[in-house]
Every structure is written in structure tokens, then in C-alpha cells.
Amino acid sequence: MARHRRDDDTILRIAQMRYDQRLPQNEIARALDISESTVSRALKAAMDLGFVEIQISPTGLRDFALERRLIAAYGIDFAVVVQPRAGGAQTADVLGRAVARVVEERATAGTVIGVSDGDTVAAVAAAARRARSTDIDVVSLIGGVGAPQVPSHSSEVCRTLAAGLGARAWQLPVPAIVDDVAAADHMRQTSSVAAVFDLMTRVDVALVGIGAIDPAATVFRHGVIPAAEIAAIAGAGAVGTICGWFYGPRGEVVSTPFDRRTLSVPPRVLQSVPVRLGVATHASKARAIRAALIGGWINAVGLDAETAEELVRLK
């Protein structure tokens, strides 16, 4: 006999409470005024009906030995390195889930999490689950307007991570780079923008993407800076970019004509954040990651194994 739609709704609700909100079965039973055995049967039914799927935990795909080598080589606070299995999920998705678990663990009451744009940061945001507290703020570290429907757009990353954690989202509703210095100064002084910049100074965990100086970097691909400027920026000595700022091989800031027009977390503010977690895939970024570590832009990393191996080799 076919089940009533309300039965399926109840099963789905119980599954969401257990796996999305991570509530224990006794709390679910108490909240819904049902027995724990009913909760257990509903969870089994959710599995049978395909409402819930079992996956290998991203923790099981972490390369802990390589993480220890990275920590020893660079003296960083921690590392998350994943070794995706052949035929499995995309590397960015596996890394995103592994890093998201670390972010969730650190998201306690009162935590402020800052996020940049970028594909890998977006993968972390998409994998986030409900945190232990909803008294959490997620703030964009770089402006972004124009195409918020793109998952790697800073506003979308901020919104997605906040929704996943059950937190408050503080987007920066301005371009990353504006047309002139006067306009940038004016925008910084508006109340809505000033409030976001103030919150940046209270970030506990910064989750940032790392770009090499090539057309694939988000800052060029999203049109924040014209790709035609790549040669000039590289010629000035830049090897990497974080939150719209450029830096050289020792992590030193490389000045560009865009600096005073950039609406992004100031480098000195970013470098004072207690946990600065840089995430990236592709070994071609290893030189940029190394420079970011040396210069103090980041003090923790989330990487795929190939990139981590190259980073150790460079050291």
C-alpha cells in the first residue's frame, strides 16, 4: 500500500534533524513528541527511500602523513590535505568537504568567519553543515557585484556558507575595484560598507582562495582586473594574489595602480586574523602558496595531495 505523503514528509524532517542539524535521536524524539524507536525506524526508512546516502567521509581521504610534513616544513598551525580516489568526486569537492568539517568545528558562539571569492572557497561553502551555534557571522572580505549567481562570486560564497552554517551573512555590496579613488573613499564611508569593514577587523577565521598570476585566477577571470594587466603585474614581481591584493616571492605586497581603488580587507587586517586558512588546488599554484605562507598571508592550508607535495618540494 502506498505511503501517505505526510509519512514521507515526517521521515524527511527526521532525517534533516539528524544529519543536517546533527541532533541526537533523543532530542529529535522529544522535539517531535515521538518515541526514540520511531526516530530509528524513520532514519532506516530514509536510507531505504534514498532520502539519505552514505558516503566515505572526507576525513577518510585525508593524507595525515603529508599534512605533518607540511606543518614541519613551514611551521604552520594546521593543514588539510586530501588524496581523492580514482573515479571518485572532483578534487575540489572532496577538499571542500574536508575543509568544511574543520570550519564547522571552529564555528562556536560569537565566531566571525571571513571569506574571499574563488572556486575552492566556494566548494567549502557548498559543503558546510549546520554549526553547533547559530550565533556566527560570515563576512565577505572582498567586494563583488555583477554576477552573484556565479558560485565563486564573493557575495554568493558568503551567502552559501552562512546558509549552510545557519549563520548571519554580511556581504560587501560594492565592486572589488571602483573607477576612481574618490569613489572608493566615499563607498568606504557609507554606513553599510563601513559596518562590513569594521566586522573584518573582528574576524576569527579567514577562509581565502589563492591565485597565481595567470588568466585562471578569479581576480582576472571575473573581470575584477583586466586580463591585459597580467603581464604588467607579473613584471612588477607578483607571484600570487589574495583578496585582490598582489604579493611577491617573499610575500611582500606588490603595489599596483588599483590599490587605492580596491575595496577589500586590508593586508594588515588579514594578516592579523588568528586563523588564516588558504585553500587551493593545482600544483601550478604552489609557488604562490609558498609565498603566502612565508609572508604571513596565511598560517594554515587546505590542499590536494599533488599541490602539497609540490609545496614540500619547493621548501
pLDDT in tens, 102-131: 999 999 999 999 999 999 999 999 999 988
Residue 261 placed within a domain: yes
pLDDT confidence bin for 136, thresholds 50/70/90: very high
Could you tell me if 35 and 105 lie in one domain?
A: no
47 pLDDT band (50/70/90 cuts)? confident
pTM: 0.81
111 and 25 within one domain: no
41/93 same-domain check = no
Does 139 map to a domain?
yes
- The residue among 30, 48, 66 that closes a domain is 48
- So what's the pLDDT on residue 58? 62
- Is there a single domain that holds both residue 184 and residue 240? yes
Check residue 297 and give its pLDDT.
Answer: 98
- Residue that is written with C-alpha cell 599541490 in the block: 307
The three state secondary structure string of 171-190 is CCCCCCECCCHHHHHHHHHC
Does 53 map to a domain? no
Looking at the fold, whether 18 and 117 belong to one and the same domain comes out as no
Residues 223 and 134 in one domain: yes
CATH number where 37 lies: 1.10.10
Burial 182-219 (b: 16+ CB within 10 A, else e): eebeebeeeeebeebbebbeebbbbbbbbbbbeeebbb
Q: Is residue 128 part of a domain?
A: yes
27 & 68 share domain: no
Q: CATH number of the domain at 136, please.
A: 3.40.50.1360
Res. 86 pLDDT band, cuts 50 70 90: low
Same-domain check for residues 188 and 216: yes
Residues 121, 204 within the same domain:
yes
- pLDDT > 70? residue 156: yes
Please report which confidence band the pLDDT of residue 226 belongs to, taking 50, 70 and 90 as the band edges: confident
Q: What is the pLDDT of residue 109?
A: 95
Quickly tell me which residue has 560598507 as its cell: 193
Is the model's pLDDT at 17 over the cut of 70?
yes
Is 157 found in the same domain as 11?
A: no
Question: 211 and 101, same structural domain?
Answer: yes
Is the confidence at residue 244, as pLDDT, over 70?
A: yes
Q: How many domains does the chain divide into? A: 2
Dist. CA 115–CA 271, nearest whole Å: 14
Shared domain for 168 and 133, answered yes or no, is yes
Q: Band the pLDDT of 57: cuts 50, 70, 90.
A: low
Domain that holds residue 32: 5-48
| pLDDT for the residue 277 | 98
Which among 79, 80, 82 has a CA at the least distance from the CA of 56? Answer: 82
**pLDDT higher than 50, residue 255:** yes
Question: Which is more confident, 236 or 60?
Answer: 236
Per the prediction, the chain carries an average pLDDT of: 89
